Structure 1
């Protein structure tokens, strides 16, 4: 029997699987600039509002918003998960093996400084020169290169503060009497970490993974407002004679759909409303899953 407490986690898995298999079983709707009646007369132009033909409406290019949201979900969820996993792998390594360095005043001060520097600001400074380009220029990086660069930058932006947090937890674990006993009995540093530190640290890492995942999702949304999207930014002419640039996501990930269309808030609000609701639901489900994990490990 499915536990109701695990429903948020199951919903996240369901959304991801639908996003993976939907493009395989369903062809992408053809974008149409005009809709015609049976007599061939034009009855509507893009963007089309929500209807039985387009459940969530279309953007100004005539692309079905429902289809874009479905295929973009996997990029949003998978990329945020990969960044989180790399943070959780690197941060404990620094927190456990370099815990003695964290007692140094200058190292402590350096890591404390990262707590006050917004991660989005660090990411924007490092990513903008590589992902944003002039309209008449070619993109400087391919999609694979953009994903790799974003993975490295977003991972490193969150490692220092996460490592500091884990380092403080490790120092607290080392203050217990059982570790003093194991050390007196001749336990090597590797043995202490393997047998005593990591088993106590592991539940905290699981909870920290969920919190980092929500943090990465918020970070992606901040970057999207500055037109930095997962997989790269596609820049085209927004009007004739290139008076304005139009920014769109190469992968249609959810933060990119919001960041590329927020100018429609006063024109066609539904174009932004549905991606915002989807992103909010994703963060809500993540938070609910993290809360359940915290309750589970507190009982253990």
Structure 2
């Protein structure tokens, strides 16, 4: 615990936020203090949503007249659970596939690398937009579960190639160590080596890479939100105050969706877009703080640096050797 103070504090903040969001139906208003028009005693309209931050509306309201701080509390669970769930599934599936690739079928690794290298040159946001086009419309409440399941599958698929190759490279490095080679010579089975010698290291790296994939998932969901691909789908009612067709709104109020639906409100109601952006930014800062501390204590930075250097060498094989292939005769005479 003393070695990971930032991790403990950051995890406690995220856990508290998640609990507040999960318990919101028991203490928060269902309509999010919905109010479109404010009138005086004579019945004249003196104000119309969106309302700026005030005592009644701590962080202001959106164009639909709903309190932003209540929307953030309600939607936090969808943002956090999706980011953590997608990252965990990516690491478990990608880690298992990478382990199988290095130990079970090492002769296929070069072919798999040639296939996965395509994902390095195609932006993840482009793949996400193309694959999520079938669910870009409005659906009824019954289809929400199917929509979320499909979106999670797409988010997992986008990150599987990088996780698989990372896990395979880490496994290859561990297989080259002296104690693993000695176990092979003594007749140890592959299952014994995986369970006794590789898993303790892979669990540490898996924890580190899970945190990294949380940040990656937050990035891609925010980018998808800017393009109107909201987690859970779009609300049929949309956002008030726009001509037909109505501007789409997120049905789950997850934070990336709040950013996407209020993106055009910067000039009229800047608090409507800045509030979810700042909240999203703070979550990314906390997760990144946890990641850096884990890298320092789990020696993950060394492995990540080795992995990045290996990728650079593969992309530029001319720089693979740091020693010159030949020396001039004059240089040899001087050295002698």
**TM-score with structure 1 length normalisation?**
0.91
Moved more, 269-278 or 2-11: 2-11
> Is contact 1:91–1:160 with CA below 8 Å preserved after alignment?
yes
Aligned pairs, number:
295
The offset of 1:247, in angstroms, is: 1.1
Pick from 8, 11, 14 the counterpart of residue 9 of structure 1: 11
Assess, with a 3 A threshold, how the Cα gap between structure 1 residues 65 and 146 changes in structure 2: closer, same or farther: same
Instruction: Tell me the residue number matched to 2:132.
Output: 127
Contact residue 231 and residue 254 of structure 2 kept, 8 A: yes
Distance 1:98 1:104 in 2: 6
Q: Does 1:261 align with 2:265?
A: no
Aligned 8 A contact 1:237 1:243 in 2:
no
Instruction: Tell me which residue corresponds to 1:70.
Output: 73
Is the contact made by 2:64 and 2:240 (CA closer than 8 Å) also made in structure 1?
Answer: no
Task: Give the match for residue 111 of structure 2.
Answer: 106
1:255 is paired with a residue whose SS is helix
User: For 1:162 and 1:46, how far apart are their aligned partners in 2?
Assistant: 45
Q: How much does 1:193 deviate?
A: 0.7
Kindly state the Cα deviation for residue 295 of structure 1 after the two structures are TM-superposed.
2.5
Q: Give the corresponding residue for 2:179.
A: 178
Distance 1:104 1:11, change over 3 A: closer
**Residue ranges of structure 2 left out of the alignment (5+ in a row):** 301-336
Answer yes or no: is the 8 Å Cα contact 1:112–1:161 preserved in 2: no
Question: Which residue matches 2:159?
Answer: 158
1:48 to 42, 51, 74: 51
**How far off its partner does 1:102 sit?**
6.8
Checking the alignment, whether the CA contact within 8 Å between 2:101 and 2:109 is kept in structure 1 is no
Measured at CA, do residues 254 and 102 of structure 1 come closer, stay the same or move farther in structure 2, by a change above 3 Å?
A: farther
Is residue 230 of structure 1 aligned with residue 231 of structure 2? yes
**2:83 maps to which residue?**
80
In 1, the alpha carbon distance for the partners of 2:43 and 2:237 equals 31
Note if contact 2:28-2:70 (Cα within 8 Å) is conserved in structure 1: no
Does the CA-based 8 Å contact 2:139-2:236 persist in structure 1? no
Cα 1:26–1:139 change in 2 (3 A) is closer
**2:63 is matched with which residue?**
60
Q: Which structure: larger Rg?
A: 2
Q: Deviations over 1:191-212 (max 9, x none)?
A: 1111111112111111101000
**How far apart are the structure 2 equivalents of 1:101 and 1:231?**
39
1:188-267 counterparts in 2 under 5 A?
Answer: 188-236=189-237, 243-267=244-268
Structure 1's consecutive aligned runs of 4 or more residues displaced over 4 angstroms after TM superposition are: 1-4, 101-104, 137-141, 235-242
- Listed one character per residue, the Cα deviations across residues 83-121 of structure 1 (whole Å, up to 9, x for unaligned) are 111101101111111224476433221122222222221
Is the Cα contact below 8 Å between 1:34 and 1:44 reproduced in 2? yes
Deviation at 1:37, TM superposition (A): 3.0
| Distance (whole Å) between structure 2 residues aligned to residue 298 and residue 167 of structure 1 | 18
Give 5+ residue unaligned stretches, structure 1: none
| Equivalent residues of 2:37, 2:48 under 8 A apart | yes
- Report the Cα distance in structure 1 between the residues aligned to 2:285 and 2:26, rounded to whole angstroms: 28
Partners of 1:37 and 1:43 within 8 A in 2: yes
Please report how far the alpha carbon of residue 141 of structure 1 lies from its aligned counterpart in structure 2 after TM superposition. Answer: 7.3
